[in-house]
Amino acid sequence: MKLYYTPGACSLASHIVLCECGLPYTLKRVDLRNKTIADGRDFLTINPLGYVPVLELNNGEILTEGTAILYYLADLVPSAGLVPPAGEVARYRLLAWLNFIGSELHKNFSPLFGKDTPPEYKAQVSTRLAARFAHVDGVLAYSPYLADDAFSIADAYLFVVSNWAKVVGLDLTPYPHLLAFRERVLARPSVQRAMREEGLL
């Protein structure tokens, strides 16, 4: 499989899960600003929407959207324990977390990266993110990971999105349980490997 990625972007979650599952893969670095792949190809021929991650399967099929890729990879290797089995309520609670991270955290970071975003709107978004991180911190006060005691695809996604706080100047020190979670996740060999391969460590 080929993972089209940009260092530190949400594609890092898919990279971490590939490592967790022990699946073979090759990496294709994408310049999101210029929409080009490191080998010079036009990335828009791979994903017309112009963003990562994209997973190219061994048969040439293309899979887009981060949460879909995370579920696909985890389902390939059930023994990795990254998602509960189909039909179990825990699987759909995990899906709820993925939706929450995608809509309430990930998308609220987007305006903070925009150079043209008005400062007053950035302040509103930062306040909204603070409230969402407070909610996550409260959950992590009682559980080491979002899905209780087991590391899951949602934890990989949360780790990556929370990495962006430092980039945009969002202070996470009010959330000690989130910070402890981040240390636990960072210590995982799969996370270390993925971050090294992306030049982040």
On whether the CB atoms of residues 15 and 29 are closer than 8 A, the answer is no
Mean pLDDT of 159-188: 97
Alpha-carbon gap, residue 86 to 77, rounded angstroms: 13
List all residues 6 or more positions away from 37 whose beta carbon is below 8 Å from its beta carbon: 4, 28, 29, 30, 31, 43, 46
Alpha-carbon gap, residue 194 to 27, rounded angstroms: 10
Mean pLDDT of 137-156: 95
Report the candidate in 26, 58, 51, 49 with the shortest Cα–Cα distance to residue 39. 26
Mean pLDDT of 49-66: 97
pLDDT of residue 147: 84
In which element (H, E) is residue 4 found?
strand 2-5
In the predicted structure, residue 148 carries a pLDDT above the cut 80: no
Percent of the chain with pLDDT over 90: 97
pTM of the model: 0.96
In the predicted structure, residue 81 carries a pLDDT above the cut 90: yes
Q: Which residues pair with 2 in a beta bridge?
A: 26, 56
In the predicted structure, residue 122 carries a pLDDT above the cut 90: yes
Percent of the chain with pLDDT over 70: 100
In the predicted structure, residue 54 carries a pLDDT above the cut 90: yes
In the predicted structure, residue 149 carries a pLDDT above the cut 90: no
3-state secondary structure of 85: coil
State the pLDDT confidence band at 114, using cuts at 50, 70 and 90: confident
The pLDDT mean for the chain works out to: 96
